[in-house]
Amino acid sequence: QVQLVESGGGLVQSGGSLRLSCTTSAFPLNYYGFGWFRQAPGKEREGVACISSGDGSTYYADSVKGRFIISRDNAKETVYLQMNSLKPEDTAVYYCAVDVQFRRCILSSNEYDYWGQGTQVTVSS
């Protein structure tokens, strides 16, 4: 019902920046909640950032707070994750997801209804 496609991943040196994009068919964007999650090899999937419907309140995992910024562009049908001051421990496959039911900002995988395929982010030392 809803499709999401992530892009913008790649290889970057420690301290560098990347901007991930999530193009979605869920329109308008500000009616839904969106989250970014990541999963490193051998690790559990963890929530990174989310943005709620309406006023677009945001929440960040402690590990990325102050470095990452989640935003949305309704006209471009895209949710972004700006990642600054990247660290090797940020290396993971990053996924975007949409909460079409509750439209909340919660860093819990169970909250979300649809997921993208992921984009690889690799941060070298």
Helices (H) and strands (E) in the chain, counts: 0, 11
For residues 8-16, give the mean pLDDT: 98
Q: What tens digit of pLDDT does each residue of 70-117 get?
A: 999 989 999 999 999 999 999 999 999 999 999 999 999 999 999 999
Q: What is the DSSP letter of 76?
A: T
Can you give the pLDDT at residue 38? 98
Per-residue model confidence as pLDDT tens digits over 99-108: 999 999 999 9
94 near 37, Cβ under 8 Å?
Answer: yes
Rounded mean pLDDT, 46-52: 97
Contacts of 65 (CB under 8 A, 6+ apart): none
Task: Tell how strand 119-124 and strand 58-60 pair up.
Answer: unpaired
Distances (CA, A) of 15 to 1, 87, 88: 38, 6, 9
> For residue 27, is pLDDT > 90?
no
